[in-house]
Amino acid sequence: MPAEAFVTRLNEQIAHEYAAHQQYVACAVFYDSETFPQLARFFYRQALEERDHAMMMVQYLVDADVEVVIPGVAAPKTTFTDIVAPVALALDQEKRVSKQINGLAATAREAGDFTSEQFTQWFIKEQVEEVATMSDLLRVVERSKDDPMDIENYMAREHASDAAEDPTAPHPAGAE
Ligand SMILES: [Fe+2]
Ligand SMILES: [Fe+2]
């Protein structure tokens, strides 16, 4: 059985991951409506990854036979002043999630719940990548904000295809 404190925090994290999903959909829709198809595609894909994170956590709790709370989600920010703003917001969000995931790992460790601590390890690694991706992207959009087609070309070049399947990733609930 996972530690009660961990279950509580993991249920909270599920809400954060769903909120991240909604926020990235909002970013994608903003870029779509401004006709930046590559940036839109990137954020739609990021949104799906956040949903997967939530569903991996759901699967963990289902497997552990403890209560899963599918949460309501706070409304995302949907209006942005310029094309840099959604990326800046995304970087802030990823940094915040990194702290939350580290907090989850600490909660598991303090409770002596080593199984749950191990479950958090994949997410720690994932957050390092997500923060790096968003801070690279922020640098690119800031540098090229007056010439946005450069940004689109960069996205087409660097983020053209879906990331390769990660065999170490936890299973998202409901996935094939
Ligand atoms: Fe996530
Ligand atoms: Fe993320």
Which range among 30-39, 95-104, 111-120, 155-164 shows the weakest confidence by mean pLDDT? 155-164
Who contacts 138 (Cβ-Cβ below 8 Å, separation ≥6)?
A: 84, 87, 88, 91
Compute, in angstroms, the gap from residue 108 CA to the centroid of ligand 1.
18
Compute, in angstroms, the gap from residue 129 CA to the centroid of ligand 2.
9
Question: Which ligand is closest in space to the CA of residue 129?
Answer: 2
Compute, in angstroms, the gap from residue 157 CA to the centroid of ligand 1.
24
- The sign of the dihedral angle between the CA atoms of 128, 133, 134, 135 is positive
Question: Which ligand is closest in space to the CA of residue 54?
Answer: 1
Compute, in angstroms, the gap from residue 128 CA to the centroid of ligand 2.
10
Residue entry with tokens 């922020």:
138
Compute, in angstroms, the gap from residue 146 CA to the centroid of ligand 1.
30
Coil vs helix vs strand at 18? helix
Looking at the predicted structure, is the pLDDT value of residue 7 above 80? yes
User: What pLDDT shows up at residue 98?
Assistant: 98
d(CA 82, CA 89) in angstroms, rounded, equals 12
Residues, the chain: 176
Question: Which ligand is closest in space to the CA of residue 56?
Answer: 1
State the pLDDT confidence band at 91, using cuts at 50, 70 and 90. Answer: very high
Question: Which ligand is closest in space to the CA of residue 100?
Answer: 1
Compute, in angstroms, the gap from residue 174 CA to the centroid of ligand 1.
17
Compute, in angstroms, the gap from residue 134 CA to the centroid of ligand 2.
9
d(CA 26, CA 74) in angstroms, rounded, equals 13
Compute, in angstroms, the gap from residue 37 CA to the centroid of ligand 1.
23
- How much is the pTM? 0.95
Tens digit of each residue's pLDDT (9 = 90 or more) over 46-63? 999 999 999 999 999 999
Mean pLDDT of 85-91: 98
d(CA 19, CA 54) in angstroms, rounded, equals 10
